[in-house]
């Protein structure tokens, strides 16, 4: 068994492909069921963001090909994915997941949002019983590495975020965005952060629309704005200057924009679609004075300001590289974990039974019982720790012999 990763990202495929392969929350139960029922996969985590779809799994070598094809098969994708879907295993997979979690593989170098997204993905997998001993320990170690990267480097200090790019785009279109009005569709964290940056840059009014109205009210209160229902979008599109969409399973059509434009007097409208799958019809860009950008378009806006992070990224990669041997050492013996846990549980069961039998035959005080408890726990701990070390040494030696 080993760590394997399969996926697709902004580096290998455009948004037109990524949106077809993304996993929404409603897909997760079925996706996890199929993965765990498949041959060779014992644990897995699905990460689906606007820039990547990846599955991290503990599986057998013989199952790699079917694992690699899972994403395309699940979504019935007819596209040619041969050069778009990647598969990494072993040490390469460990380096990759550490880089992803640290924001070093992101479109926006060093961005921190991916760390929260990975933690959320891990929690979702845990809830569905897809995470057991191996990934639980591995993700714990990876999260610690990310925190060290953040503490030891300035990788996240220079402002090159997607929300920063949105402000720059707004300034390109309007030159001065003070006093402009913005509408946000959806309750995604990136959308809220984008609106916050726009407010800091001078936006005067915020309108919030969401599928769940009470969530829209909650976000509107945070920004001192107005909450509306989805069916009110056309009316309010007549009044706003910027539209930020992070909503899923909703499409704003060309027809809706043209209807709103009948009352806009041809004023410019900037639309930034950061949802994957996209929620804005690409044809909308054909409407006069409508400036439409999606998540991939933002890449060019932030690239020029990422040079300052390159040096910090090298430091971050070196920190990760120092941790790879210990992660690989853990993975080399990870298949022993269920056996070792079973042995520890059995040892503790025997210890307790033995103490109870001994105490029944002796007349001892509570303090004396506590002393016996601590002493026997320490004895069992030392024996098991020594045994585990020897087990792991034997496992590593066996792997080495097999590879020769």
Can you give the pLDDT at residue 4? 95
Can you give the pLDDT at residue 46? 98
Would you please indicate which residues are annotated as catalytic (active-site) residues?
A: 50
> What residue segments make up the domains of the chain, in order of their start?
2-157+308-320, 162-303
Instruction: Please provide the CATH number assigned to the domain covering 162-303.
Output: 3.40.50.720
Give the C-alpha separation, 155 to 227, whole Å: 36
Can you give the pLDDT at residue 395? 59
Class of domain 2-157+308-320: alpha beta
* pTM attached to this predicted model: 0.74
Can you give the pLDDT at residue 141? 94
Tokens found for residue 373:
């408890």
Can you give the pLDDT at residue 87? 95
pLDDT 10s digit of each residue in the chain, 404 long?
789 999 999 999 999 999 999 999 899 999 999 999 988 899 999 999 989 999 999 988 778 888 999 999 999 988 889 899 999 999 999 999 999 999 999 888 888 889 999 999 999 999 999 999 899 989 999 999 999 999 998 876 655 567 777 788 888 888 888 888 999 888 777 778 788 888 888 888 999 998 889 988 988 888 888 999 988 988 888 889 999 888 877 788 888 888 888 888 778 899 988 888 888 888 888 888 899 998 888 777 766 556 667 888 899 999 999 999 989 888 877 666 666 677 778 878 888 888 888 777 777 777 888 888 888 888 888 887 777 666 666 655 555 545 55
Can you give the pLDDT at residue 307? 66
């Amino acid at each position: 068994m080993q760590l394997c990763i399969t996926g697709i990202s902004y580096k290998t495929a455009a948004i037109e492909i990524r949106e077809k392969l993304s996993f929404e929350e409603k897909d997760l139960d079925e996706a996890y069921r199929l993965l765990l029922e498949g041959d060779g996969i014992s644990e897995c985590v699905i990460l689906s963001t606007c820039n990547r779809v990846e599955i991290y799994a503990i599986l057998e070598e013989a199952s790699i090909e079917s694992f690699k094809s899972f994403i395309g098969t699940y979504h019935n994708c007819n596209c040619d994915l041969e050069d778009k879907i990647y598969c990494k295993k072993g040490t390469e997979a460990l380096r990759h997941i550490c880089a992803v979690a640290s924001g070093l593989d992101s479109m926006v170098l060093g961005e921190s949002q991916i760390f929260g997204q990975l933690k959320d993905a891990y929690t979702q997998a845990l809830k569905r019983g897809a995470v057991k001993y191996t990934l639980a320990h591995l993700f714990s170690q990876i999260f610690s590495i990310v925190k060290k990267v953040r503490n030891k480097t300035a990788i996240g200090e220079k402002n090159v975020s997607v929300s920063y790019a949105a402000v720059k785009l707004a300034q390109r279109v309007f030159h001065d965005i003070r006093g402009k009005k913005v509408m946000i569709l959806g309750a995604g964290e990136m959308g809220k952060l984008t609106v916050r940056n726009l407010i800091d840059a001078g936006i005067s009014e915020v309108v919030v629309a969401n599928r769940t109205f009470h969530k829209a009210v909650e976000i509107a209160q945070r920004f001192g704005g107005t909450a509306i229902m989805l069916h009110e979008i056309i009316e309010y599109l007549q009044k706003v200057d910027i539209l930020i969409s992070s909503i899923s399973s909703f499409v704003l059509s060309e027809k809706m924009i043209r209807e709103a434009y009948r009352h806009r007097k041809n004023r410019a409208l900037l639309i930034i679609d950061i949802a994957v799958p996209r929620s804005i019809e690409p044809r909308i860009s054909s409407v006069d004075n409508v400036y439409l950008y999606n998540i991939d378009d933002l890449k060019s806006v932030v690239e020029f300001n990422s040079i300052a992070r390159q040096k910090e990224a090298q430091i971050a990669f070196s920190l990760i590289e120092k941790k790879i041997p210990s992660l690989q050492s853990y993975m080399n013996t990870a298949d022993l974990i269920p056996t070792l846990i079973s042995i520890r549980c059995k040892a503790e069961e025997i210890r307790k039974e033995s103490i109870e039998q001994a105490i029944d035959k002796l007349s001892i005080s509570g303090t004396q019982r506590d002393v016996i408890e601590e002493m026997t726990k320490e004895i069992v701990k030392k024996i098991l720790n020594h045994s585990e070390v020897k087990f792991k040494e034997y496992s590593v030696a066996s792997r080495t012999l097999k590879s020769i």
